[in-house]
Structure formats: C-alpha cells, structure tokens
Amino acid sequence: MSFFYHVFTQVRGLLVLLALLLLPALGHGQSLRVVVRDSLRREPLVGASVLVADKTQGAATDVAGAAMLTPAPKAGTRLLIVSLGYASRSVAAPASGQDLVVLLKLAPGVVIEEEVLVTATRTNSRIEDLPTRVEVLGAEEMEEESSIKPASIASLFGDIAGTQIQPTSPTTGNLDLRLQGLPGQYTQILRDGVPLYGGFAGSFGLLTVPPLDLRQVELIKGSNSTLYGGGAIAGLVNLVSKTPTLGTPQYAASFNQTSLRETDLNGFAARRGARWGYSLYAGLVKQKEKDVDGDGFVDVPRVSNANLHPRLFFYPNGHSQVALGYTGTLESRRAGDAQVLKTGFDPVRGHVFFIDNTSLRNTADLLYTNDELAGGRLTVKGTITDFVRDVNTNSNAFTAYQTTYYTEASYLHAAGPRHTIVVGLNVNGEHLASFHNSATPLRSPYTYHTLGAFGQDDWRVLPRLRLQAGLRLDRHNQYGTFVLPRLALLYKASDAVTARLNGGLGYRAPVPYINSLDERNYPLVRGLAGVQAETSFGLNGDVNYQRTFDGFDEPLVLSVNQSFFYTSLSNPLVLNGLGFAGPFQANYLTWQNAAAPLSTRGLETYVRLRADETELYLGYVFTDARRQYDAANPHLPLAARHKFAAVGLVEFTEAFSAGLEASYIGQQYLSDGHVTPGYPLFAALLRYHAGQFTFALNGENLLDYRQTRREKVVLAPFDNPSFRDLWAPVEGRVVNLSLTWRWTAHG
C-alpha cells in the first residue's frame, strides 16, 4: 500500500473523529441520517465513511450501518461513501429531514489492506466469510513472481502447502501441478472463472501464463466439480486477470535474464474512462538449450514464446460491464540430443534423437455482468479456444488440433438477509483430431459436449455459523449423467478461531492424452473403448487461529492453520504398457479402468507471522497416496510423503527487502516401487526499489541439487532413449536478474 494512501487514511480518520467530537456542539442543527448497505445482500456495512465532498464534515457508520451528519448538508451537496472492499460512491444529499440509503457494490477481486475478495466461488465474498477454504496469492505475490519467474506462474505453487510442482518430461520441461497428492489431470485450471485447459490442450498450460498479466491467483483444494463441472477432483485454480480502474492508468514493463540463458521481455498497460477501458499484455521468452550434466542430452529445452492478451471494456451504465478479450500464444520447444540441436543429424555417430513441439493457442472470450437486474447480479460469459500442436521426433510426426468452448449464464440473488443464492446453466465441449497429412496420425479422436445446471446457497444460519450447499447436474454425451452435491460449513468459534469442513462428489471424463505421456507414445494410444468416467468423493477440513498483537511499529499478525484432506477416486484410469498396469503391448497402448480405487489422505500444518511486509512462514505436509488396485506397488508414484517449507521475507527499508526460502522434499515412490531419497532446496531474493524501478536478484536451488548427480536420467539406446521418472530438478542452480518499471497514476 502506498505512502500516500496511508496518509489519506490517517487524514480521513482524523476528519471523521473531529466531526464526531463536534456533534454535541452542533446538535442544535438538523441532521442527515445516511444508511450504508451491501447492494446484493442488503446487509448494513459497519465502519463505512460518509464524507462531505469538501472533506470538512464526516461520520462513520455504526452497527446498523447508519451515520449522522450534523448539521445536515445542503440538498444537492455531494457525499462520498467509502468502505473497505467496496467501490466508493458519490451521491447527492437529499432535502432536509429525509433519510438517505446508499447501496455499495462489491469491487470484485480488489485487495484493500488485508481484505481479499474471492471470485472463484461465484459470490465475490470476502475470504474470511467463505465456508470453503480458499488460498489467494495477491498483487504482492504477482509482483514478486514477475521478478523471479516472469515467463510463467508455475513456481508460485511450490510455496503453498499441499501443492507440488512435478516435472514430467526431461526433454520438453513440462510440469504437472499436483494437489493433495493427485496427478495434474485432476486439477481444473480456470481463467477469470472459465475453464482454460483440458486434455491434449493442457500441455504446457501453466508454463505459458505470465504473472504480470494477473491480479491474483485463487486456489481451492478438494472436490469442486459442483462449481465448474468435471475435472476439479483434486481442486481448482482460478487465474484472475488485471482489469482497468477508473481514473488510475497502469503501466509496467520488465526485463529478465537468467544463468540458464533465458531472456524475458514483458509489458502491461491498462486504462479506463467513464464508458470505455482497455488492458493489454504482451510478452516474449527466449530460452537457449543447455546440457547441464554433460551427458550429451539437453536438460533445458530451447524455447521461443510470444504471448498477447488484449481486452476491451465497455460500461453502458454504472452497474453493467461488457468485456471482450483475445489471448494468443505461439510457442516452440526443441529438445533431445544436444549435438542434433547444435549441428543437425549425424547418423554415423548415432546423433539422431530429438523432440520438437510447436503450438499455437487462440482464445476469444466475452463477459457481460449486470449488478442490478431484479435485485441481483446476472453474469453471462463464453469462450472458445483453438489449439494446434505440431510434434516431430526422429521416430514419428503428427499435427493435432483441439477446439474447446464454454458458455455460462448465472444469476446471483440475496434472498433475505440470510441467503445468497446463485443458479446457472452452462454448455461446454471439446473436439480433438489429428490432421490427415500427419505421418503418424492419432488413433484417439473424440468429440465431447456437456450440458450442466447448478445451484448454490450461502446460508448464514447463525451469526457465527455459515452453510454453503451446492448441487450440479451434468449430462455428458458419452459418459452419461452426473449428480454432484457439495456441502461446506464455516463456524467462527471466536474472533480468533475459525473451523471449516466441506465435502462433495466429483467426476472426470476420460481423455487419452495427459502431460506425463511421452510424445513418441501419442500415436500408439488406442481409442477410449469400454471405459467409464472417473468419480470421486472428497473431504477437507481445517481449523485456523489468527491473532493480531499491537505494541509494535507495525501490528504483528499470527496465523496457525491445521487441516486434513481425503479423496477416494473410483474407476481410476490406468495406461496398459507404461508401468501403470498390465504387460507392455508392442503396437498399442490402451486406457482401462482399474478394479479398485485410488486414494489420498494427509495433513497440512502451517504457521505464519507477518508485520507489514516482513513475514515468516513454516509449513509441513504429510501425504499418503495409494493405488489400491496394485498390491505389488501400492504407493502412487511421485507423490512426496513429507514436505517441509520455510520462507522468510524482511523489509529493511521501504526501498530494500530480502527473502530466504528453504524446503525439504521427502521420499517418493517410483512406478517400479523403488523409493527416492529426500532432498533440500534453498532460494534467496534481494529486491531494491528506486522510484518507479525495481531491481531483483534471485537464486533458485542454490545448493545445485540435481537428480542427475545421483543417477542417469537418459537410458540407452541413445538414438531412441527411454527416461527415468523425474523426482528432482535436473536444471540445477538458476540465478536471474530482473528490472521492472511500474507507473500508476492516482487520479
């Protein structure tokens, strides 16, 4: 928060206090009673400021949401109404003797001081009022990540309890986001509340989303298929884009260079007027290949990436908005034998292996919101994505495309002071096929479409007890009908202690291609014949303690959280021939449903101390993930049983800050039953602000721990090699230096 905003807050508070002290002396004049309420729920807002436009008079609302202005301002005088988490409003004072009722609308996703509004749960509620536990990475984390990994947000999730960034390919550098032990295909990725990736198009998904384009990231763990449909068995991630603010233009640009020869250029601009606004992101990434361990095969692929995301906003009136957006991503990834990438084929010496991925993603999206339709909020949104991926290896080649679409209409309404209800309909689908001229075309094209209906009620049962009940009905064209109930409870035992419990059902429609599948095996995968959808039951709970200690230069906030999770996945899909189940078939690979479930359970614990920008975080996660269908190797591969994390960030001055991060990844089971050793990771960050510029020096994996120091990852025959499971980094130590320029005009 800027220095000027703190000054404004203090001055405003002094003015309000002065006005309250003067009330007795001015009591002989007529008063104006102003009542401030939430526009959706009609609840009174406590502590809102009611200020006369010239700031010479003001008052704060009481528990009834009422403030008294004495003497009453003249009719027509402009009043400014301000409340945390809400869009401020300017209104005219009425004639003498009349009460004034002002309704304030939520400012979606705005972070003001320590209040965070969450959009993924569809109600735009404050994070502390949600029965569902939501973890939010806000503007500060986005700015920090822009200095550390400006090309993507993948590493952001490494610091969150219960998440694991798992490398899946030693050639392309692809990653999986694992939540609570489950592989990445069970996590749903959203962009502004719309499913973003799926199936074949999910490849390299998180690796192409830059943090400079985001306002915040919302993470909900556990079964959440009720909210957005199939796929969210392990949880969901909602990426919230930056939007323009009235009278506050925003501009940013960054340059980054790493020791692995990666260069990043990024730029962002946003501006809004009374009727029109825009935002624009553009970014370029250039990564040169590198053979870190000297075995003749690249550990870091050659990457070229261009990313463009413009959005146009139209505001027909004060309570509605239309947003039209486009996202375009063009990327090339090349890996394999280092000699092939450098000088080309040399069959005589056996230098022939390579894997090339070229992908083009085009997405168009449209959003319409109206906050005052019959006393509620109407939201209509839709998106369509065309994704083309061209793969060439020394053994096969194919070009495939996937078209996905999603449309939704929802209506949010406050039914009295205790119920907030949202209902909606959505239609979504995807089509995957390979081009006819592919040398080795895919054998598993498919066309899916789903019609869904959902409803959710946030019920304030008692002042300290909230109940969130949801139900979704999905009709899938190939896998039938799914009824998905979900229930969540929030109990505030005291001002410091909060408990949550939620559970629900989920499902995932089978798709033939996932991130962990080697490109050379894609044409070998046969069609999905005779398989059922995967279904799940998930249960999550947590107890949170938070207390603020005064008496310091900055208030010290202590947070302690203890949670548990459990997921049972029925009909899990396993791939015959790659160590998942059954013998290897030389000519094809087949997906099949396992005879017994897959289950994960575990505990998460963290302690956080924070005083302004200085923070200490300690966390531990225990995960037990088991394949009940595999008696010989029951442990789910590559799910770390223990994970410790510690993060310390110190702001020495307003200009200079430093951070240290340490983590320990415990043992992991491999697909053949072997157990890996645990290993530590350390990182450090130095950041310096000079006016509008920020310099950052960051080091990752400072001890240079690499799996290739313990074993060979690339195995013979080297003209068409196989690879070991990746359970640790292969790129080693990475140091980067970045320069970021930001300018925001406060009007």
**Helix (H/G/I), strand (E/B), else coil: 223:** coil
The string of pLDDT tens digits covering residues 409-432 is 999 998 888 899 999 999 999 999
**Helix (H/G/I), strand (E/B), else coil: 16:** helix
276-311 core/surface letters (b: 16 or more CB in 10 A; e: else): ebebbbbbebebebbbbbeeebbbbbbbebebebeb
Residue owning tokens 């398989």:
531
Residue owning tokens 């690879």:
723
* Per-residue pLDDT, 579: 41
- Give the H/E segment covering residue 19: helix 3-22
∠ CA 261-263-269, nearest 5°, is 165
Cα gap 193→412, rounded to integer Å: 15
* Per-residue pLDDT, 546: 93
* Per-residue pLDDT, 17: 42
For the entire predicted model, the pTM comes to 0.83
Q: In terms of Cα–Cα distance, which of 686, 671, 681, 599 is closest to 638? A: 671
Calculate the alpha carbon distances from 171 to 439, 553, 632, 713, 743 in Å: 22, 50, 30, 11, 39
* Per-residue pLDDT, 745: 75
Q: How many CA atoms lie within 13 A of 420 on its CB side?
A: 22
∠ CA 735-739-743, nearest 5°, is 150
Which residues of the chain fall short of a pLDDT of 70?
1-29, 40-42, 54-56, 63, 84-85, 96-97, 105-118, 120-125, 158-159, 161, 198-205, 207, 577-587, 746-747
> What domains sit in the chain, N to C, each tagged with a CATH number?
3-104 (2.60.40.1120), 240-744 (2.40.170.20)
Tokens of 676: 């890996």
* Cis peptide upstream of residue 195 (ω within 30 degrees of 0): no
- Give the H/E segment covering residue 20: helix 3-22
* Per-residue pLDDT, 28: 42
- Give the H/E segment covering residue 680: strand 679-690
Calculate the alpha carbon distances from 690 to 258, 265, 612, 659, 697 in Å: 22, 20, 20, 18, 14
19-30 core/surface letters (b: 16 or more CB in 10 A; e: else): beeeeeeeeeee
Q: In terms of Cα–Cα distance, which of 180, 285, 189, 173 is closest to 228? A: 189
